[in-house]
Copies of this chain bind each other. A is one copy, B any other.
Amino acid sequence: MTGPMRLTEGELIRRIEAIFTGAGLCKTQAGALARVIAAGERDGCKSHGVYRIEGCLRTIKAGKVAADAMPELAPEDGAIVRVDAQGGFANSAFELGLPVLEESARRHGLAALVINDCVHFSALWPEVEAIADRGLAGIAMCPSYASVAPSGGQAPLLGTNPFAFGWPRPGRDPYVFDFATSVAARGEIELHRKAGKPLPEGWAIDRDGQPTTDPAAALEGAMLPFGGHKGSAISTMIELLAAAMIGDLTSPEALEALGTTTLAPRHGELILAFDPGRFASRAGGNPFPRAEALLDAIAGQGARLPSQRRYAARAEAQAQGIALSAEEVALMDRLAREGLAAV
């Protein structure tokens, strides 16, 4: 039994990648997946870190992801960049599309990256942060599987449909947010159930469409969108743009295709990129002083900018290594040893 340890990001990536290649993923799939899981762990996002490896393995074991998929870039089509993930995880499709998206956004001022037929795993912040790191502003959105009732509705229909945004800040970590358009994540409801704690009001309805604070009833019913009808409208927009418009599955279709909410869903994703310097011709091509003034004013009020906690955890991890508990190390060792038999 090994104890807790600290790994560099590169070391953690290699360990996770080895688990996935051992489980049958090709190196393209395994590497991209390992990079986002390691980034989550590095940033203190435990809910998107090492803990998630098992879920990916379950999806592989269930045959719900193409283990050797090589994403394919479609020929240029105006300012639309298309990558077909070929049934593999979204992450390598994004990595393939990112430089082309950047080039298209620089050429046209803005561009869209459409990812089709991907098994979607992971938060969207690594994507909008990667876009911001290239000096572009980015928006990412995708459906998930039907688990959220529309505002005024009775039953699951919308997904938890995440929406993420990134804005570059010269010399500083980018402004990045990434949130589910449901009030709470499904995992938070699970946690309340396990802890035997009632849910806050407004999180969920039961199977009869009635408001409930009982986690078990909520899991049989539906979650609710954040912000009432406004959040519901944004979630619906995501279904229209990042599913219907890109010719890919909506959340109800994704659930029907998968038949469970316990594996990673298969659908598409829409990512927009904007070249701020190109847009800001009226400000001499430099939008940043004005943006910094605003962001500094927000922080100056004592309001926390989104992602600050992640960046603080990252700085610590970069200085001292990524801290893994003995249980996490043991889990990775076991998954590396047993592969798909472990899940």
Contacts and interface: CB of A to CB of B under 8 A. Distances in A.
Interface stretch (A23-31, A47-55, A72-80, A325-333): A72-80
Interface string A103-133: 0000111111010100000000000000000
A151 B303 CA distance: 6
Most buried by B among A110, A179, A304: A110
Contact of A297 (B252, B293, B303): B252
Nearest to A268: B282
Contact of A230 (B78, B179, B253): B179
Contacts of A272: 110, 272
Contact of A247 (B107, B153, B279): B279
Copies of the protein in its oligomer: 2
A5 interface: no
Most buried by B among A232, A280, A298: A298
Interface stretch (A56-64, A191-199, A238-246, A334-342): A238-246
A294 B107 CA distance: 35
Contact of A241 (B149, B231, B274, B281): B274
Contacts of A111: 79, 110
A301 B110 contact: no
Interface string A251-277: 011000000000000000000101010
A150 B282 contact: no
Nearest to A106: B78
A191 to B, nearest CB: 19
Interface in A290-343: 290-291, 293-295, 297-298, 301-304, 306
Contacts of A35: none
Given A80-B109, A108-B108, A114 B279 contact: yes
A279 B116 CA distance: 11
B112 A280 contact: no
Contacts of A237: 139, 165, 167, 177
Contacts of A6: none
A79 B230 contact: no
Given A112-B109, A245-B287, A247-B282, A304 B152 contact: yes
B231 A306 contact: no
A247 B298 contact: no
Contacts of A230: 177, 179, 181, 226-227, 231
Contact of A280 (B155, B234, B246): B246
Interface string A169-193: 0000001010101000000000000
A246 B153 contact: no
A37 interface: no
A283 to B, nearest CB: 3
A231 B227 contact: yes
A270 to B, nearest CB: 8
B233 A278 contact: no
Given A79-B108, A137-B241, A139-B237, 7 more contacts: A154-B302, A179-B230, A236-B298, A244-B283, A244-B291, A247-B283, A250-B294
7 contacts: A79-B79, A79-B108, A79-B110, A108-B108, A110-B111, A152-B303, A157-B298
